[in-house]
């Protein structure tokens, strides 16, 4: 289209200001990655409660603590990425509700607050003033926290969709990718965390979630890779960074292999051989690879010149 007219016009920018570099870099990648694990673990704990509550014994508190830590890593990087971090309180005192950033910050704060409450209740089991049945209280609250984890996972897709300058990010695909990132990394973290506390059958169940999440996320990325350019010329220009000898082509494929393709193969092998080690390896790869995948997808639209 218009880009093809350059052959005829030989149009070249001869004087302009330097363009700003990447604005949302690896701090934001850390933010998305840590949040995926944090909310993903809550989803998995809820599934475990529904599927096999007996195996939750000894896993309630550790799982929630790991989720809580990841949520705090997410909040820390969100804060560190601000150019005026000490003004963070403005979000609570001057909230602008059309912004997914505002809605997300409020929801994430409530989410972390509820998680803290659940952890405190479990850690002070014997002296808990709030309830006589801490475990029952925990399980009840887990339902509401799981419900809240859905929009907490999704809101980053809303921010990406509101960043309209970055044509690649669309709410529909990004929201599915956010949920899949949570189920992928959550199931992987659960397999690693569960260790001997989980039966082989339950581990295989989480392995299946991991494998299916990887498969679906991979299909969506490949769909964007192949068909994304049909949406607009800007998307063609953005995707050129991960095609051919594009700047992020290698990193893109490393991410796809490590996060999705290898874990899928390993999960299939683990099901046949009933090997926990293969499951563990698939889990580690999925968690590491997810960071790479998210980073590439975050950075490439920012390479496009907007003016």
Partner 1 sequence: MQLGFLVDLHLCMGCKGCEIACKVENEVPLSTWRLRVKYVDVGAFPETKRTFTPLRCNHCENAPCERICPVSALHYIDNGIVNIDSERCIGCAGCVMACPYGAIYIDPETQTADKCTYCAHRVASSMMPACVVACPVEANIFGDLEDPTSNISMYIQDHRDVQVRKPEKGTNPHHFYVGASQVNLNPLASERVEGFSLFNKITHLPLGGHHE
Which part of the chain contacts partner 1 (CB under 8 A), choosing from 25-33, 60-68, 124-132, 134-142? 25-33
Q: Out of 66, 69, 73, 91, name the contact with partner 1 by CB under 8 A.
A: 91
Footprint (CB under 8 A) of partner 1, residues 28-87 = 28, 81-85, 87
Footprint (CB under 8 A) of partner 1, residues 194-213 = none
Q: Out of 131, 162, 269, 275, name the contact with partner 1 by CB under 8 A.
A: 162
Q: Out of 46, 55, 61, 234, name the contact with partner 1 by CB under 8 A.
A: 234
Select 139 or 234, whichever has its Cβ closest to partner 1.
234
Cα–Cα distance between 217 and 225 in angstroms, integer?
A: 12
Cα–Cα distance between 270 and 253 in angstroms, integer?
A: 24
Q: What is the longest distance spanned by two Cα atoms in the chain?
A: 79
Residue 84 burial (CB count, 10 A): 7
Q: Which residues contact 300 (CB under 8 A, 6 or more apart)?
A: 168, 238, 239, 241, 242, 248
Which part of the chain contacts partner 1 (CB under 8 A), choosing from 19-27, 139-147, 170-178, 256-264? 19-27
- Cβ(38)–Cβ(65) under 8 Å? no
Binding footprint of partner 1, residue count (CB under 8 A): 58
Select 175 or 183, whichever has its Cβ closest to partner 1.
175
- Per-position x/- string for 263-302, each x denoting binding to partner 1 as judged by CB under 8 A, each - no binding: ------------------------------------x--x
- DSSP for 191-227? HHHHGGGS-HHHHHHHHHHHHHHHHHHHHHHHHHHHH
Q: Out of 52, 61, 99, 131, name the contact with partner 1 by CB under 8 A.
A: 99
Q: Out of 9, 172, 196, 230, name the contact with partner 1 by CB under 8 A.
A: 9
- For residue 184, CA distances in Å to 32, 41, 210, 271, 286 come to 13, 10, 5, 17, 7
Q: Which residues contact 220 (CB under 8 A, 6 or more apart)?
A: 173, 176, 177, 180
Crossing angle, helix 26-51 and helix 276-299, to 10 degrees?
140
Which part of the chain contacts partner 1 (CB under 8 A), choosing from 20-28, 209-217, 250-258, 285-293? 20-28
Binding site for partner 1 (CB under 8 A): 2-3, 5-6, 9-28, 81-85, 87-88, 90-91, 94-96, 98-102, 105, 159, 162-166, 232-234, 237, 299, 302, 304-307
């Amino acid at each position: 289209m218009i880009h093809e007219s350059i052959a005829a016009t030989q149009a070249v920018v001869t004087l302009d200001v330097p363009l700003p570099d990447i604005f949302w870099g690896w701090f934001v990648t850390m933010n998305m990655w840590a949040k995926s694990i944090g909310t993903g673990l809550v989803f998995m704990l809820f599934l475990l409660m529904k599927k096999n509550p007996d195996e939750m014994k000894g896993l309630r508190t550790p799982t929630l603590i790991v989720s809580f830590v990841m949520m705090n890593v997410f909040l820390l990087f969100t804060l560190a990425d601000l150019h005026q971090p000490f003004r963070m309180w403005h979000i609570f005192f001057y909230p602008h509700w059309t912004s997914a950033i505002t809605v997300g910050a409020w929801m994430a704060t409530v989410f972390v607050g509820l998680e803290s409450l659940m952890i405190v209740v479990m850690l002070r089991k014997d002296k808990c003033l709030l309830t006589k049945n801490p475990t029952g209280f925990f399980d009840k609250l887990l339902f509401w926290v799981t419900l809240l984890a859905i929009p907490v996972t999704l809101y980053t897709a809303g921010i990406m969709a509101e960043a309209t300058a970055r044509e690649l990010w669309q709410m529909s695909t990004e929201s599915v990718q956010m949920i899949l990132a949570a189920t992928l990394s959550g199931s992987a973290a659960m397999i690693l965390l569960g260790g001997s506390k989980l039966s082989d059958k339950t581990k295989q169940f989480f392995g299946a979630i991991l494998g299916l999440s990887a498969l679906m996320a991979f299909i969506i990325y490949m769909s964007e890779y192949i068909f994304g350019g049909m949406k607009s010329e800007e998307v063609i220009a953005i995707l050129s960074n991960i095609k051919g000898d594009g700047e992020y082509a290698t990193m893109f494929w490393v991410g796809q292999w490590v996060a999705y393709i290898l874990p899928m193969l390993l999960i299939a092998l683990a099901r046949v051989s009933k090997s926990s080690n293969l499951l563990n390896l698939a889990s580690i790869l999925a968690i590491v690879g997810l960071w790479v995948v998210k980073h590439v997808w975050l950075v490439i639209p920012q390479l496009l010149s907007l003016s």
